[in-house]
Each structure stands twice: as structure tokens, then as C-alpha cells.
Structure 1
């Protein structure tokens, strides 16, 4: 049986879900970002127990096909932006990338995402890129030009302007701060103003 899980966006999330499910006696046969496959089926009582266990840890079972598509969009965007090693920029535009991996026309995906998330895919991508830029600035391994290139910004100025609009300060000011205000990937602000 496959369960789709909302907010399961990192390897630590995968570990927590696996440990929780195995702790209550379920055999996990496959697990990844946003899903888990368990051996057998769950009766209604056990399903509720799994649902409550996941809610306790900040996850949610997805029971709606359209919500599952939106979670898949978010997972693909997060993976593409945050799993990248900065050796090369993202290889293709996100609309083509999402269509290829999900199998629906982009107009459908865009409308569905906006309806459920109350923001656009483009704004969600920007918020994830800015969060990745914050991570790279915090780690100090790359300069702003390298970060802009790896995140496919047309220039350092474009990244800086977008960063300031989202975060409220420039990347340089952010780097100088002693307290870093990074967000969990599933909590990244959705309402990004477009430049």
C-alpha cells in the first residue's frame, strides 16, 4: 500500500516517518520524499493511528489526487533547487521540467497549484531559490556570482534585488548578520512579490 505524505521534503523527514511507522509495527518496503510504501493494507483504525502519528510530527496524509500532484510539484522543485551541488545550473526551465516529470500540461499544473497553494509556481520557485541562496551564503563556500549562476539568475543584481524583496535585506547584509533566519523547506514563504 502506498501512502502519499505532505511536508515530507528532506532526508530527515524520510528517516522520521520510517522510524515512526516501524515503531508501530509496519514494514516499510519503499520510502522517498513524499511517499511511503508499506507491506499489506491498513484497516480504518490503524489508518487513523498512522494519520495521527504523522500529524504529531508535522506531516499529513494526502487523500486527494490533485493535492498529491501539488505535493509532487513542490517535491520536484525542492529537489531540483536544494539537492543541486552548484557544479552546474539547473538544466532546463521549470515548466518543461515539471511537465516531463508529472505528465500533465503546464497550464493545468499551474492552475491547480495556484488554486491549492494560493500562490503561483513561479513565486514558489523564487522562494525556494532565495532559501537556497541563504543556505549558500550562510555556508560561505560560494561567492554571490557563483550562487547567482547556479540558481540561474541573469545577473548578481537580479538575485540581489529579488533577495532583498523576499528577505528584506541584501545578500551582503544577510551574510554579515550574526543570526541567520533560515526556514524549513516546507515553511518557505509563499507570497513573493515579483520584480
Structure 2
């Protein structure tokens, strides 16, 4: 049995979900961002308790297949953008997502837009900008290295997109003292 969990976007999220499964003695064979493969079907009561506990921690069990597909799509995009050695950023996004989810891209796009109210492309841009903010705050890479690591065609393209989304230039953002980054599940 597969469980799909909304807002499970990082390794710490996986650890928290794993701990809750263990507390309820619900066995699993595999866990990844947004999904868990259970070793057996738990009772409806245990699933209800799990859902309540996860909800209290900011997660949500998804019953709807379309919602589960959107969540898988989001976690795939997050993984693509945050993977440090990502060779797929220069491959056409529609191809990468279609292959990763084994689902027609047009269908993915239609479902995603219908459920999220924005396009996949807009979501990707928002995730990339959040990643740029993170890298700017670390101050370990120059703008050219950041642009290259995230698959931007040029520093100018990154800068234009960054300013359009944030209202600031990357260098202006780097000089800010405050942190206006959003958690990945809130993008």
C-alpha cells in the first residue's frame, strides 16, 4: 500500500514521518519525499490516528489520486532543483517530469494547474528563486556559479527573473540582513 503525504519536502520530514510510523507500529518498506510504501495495510483506526498526528506536525495524508500526483510532481521538482550534482537541469523540464512520473506531461500540467492555480513552469521558477536566495545567503558561490548550478542560460537571465519575483537584484538581496526565504512547502 502506498501513502502520499503532503508537505514532506526534506530529509527531516522523512525522519519525522518515520518516527510517527514507528510509534504506531506501522511497517514500511520504502520512504521517499512525499510517499511511503507500507509493508502491510494498517487498520482504518491506525490510519486515522496517523493522519491526525501528521496533521499536527504540518503534514497531510492524501487520499485523492490527483492530489497525490501533484505532490509527487512537487517533490520531483524540489529534488531536481536542490540536487547538487544535477545534470538534468539542462534537459527539457517536460521530458524530465514525464519520465520521472511516467505520466504524460500535458496531463501533469493540466492536473497541476487545476489543483494549484499556477503552471508547473511558474512553480519551478518560484522554487529556483528560493534556491537562489538560499545560495546567496550561504555566500559561498558567486552569481555566475549559482546561475550555472541552477541551469540558467546566463547571469543576466537569473538576475532578471530574480528581480521580477522578489523586486530586488541578487546583490541587493545578498546585502539584506533579514531572511525572507519561504519554506519549500509554502512556495
2:3 is equivalent to residue 3 of structure 1:
yes
Equivalent residue for 1:63? 63
Q: Could you tell me which runs of 5 or more consecutive residues in structure 2 were left unpaired when the two chains were aligned.
A: none
Partner of 2:107: 108
Deviations 1:91-119 (A, max 9, x none): 41210001111122211111111001110
Note the residue ranges of structure 1 that are not aligned, 5 or more in a row.
Answer: 189-195
Q: Tell me which residue corresponds to 1:94.
A: 93
Separation in 2, partners of 1:181, 1:6: 23
Structure 2 equivalent of residue 124 of structure 1: 123
Q: In the alignment, is the contact (CA less than 8 A) between 1:174 and 1:180 conserved in 2?
A: no
Q: CA RMSD, aligned part only?
A: 1.5
More helix by share: 2
Q: TM-score, normalised by structure 1?
A: 0.90
Q: Provide the TM-score with structure 2 as the length reference.
A: 0.94
Per the alignment, residue 151 of structure 2 pairs with 152
Which segment drifts farther, 76-85 or 120-129?
76-85
Secondary structure at the counterpart of residue 8 of structure 1: coil
Paired positions, count: 187
Please give the per-residue CA displacement for 1:58-78, whole angstroms capped at 9, x wherever unaligned. 111111111111111111100
The structural deviation recorded for 1:89 is 6.9
Counterpart CA distance in 1 for 2:35 and 2:129 is 26
Match of 2:38 in 1: 38
Within 1, Cα distance between the matches of 2:18 and 2:88?
32
Q: Deviations over 1:103-150 (max 9, x none)?
A: 222111111110011100000000010011111111111110111122
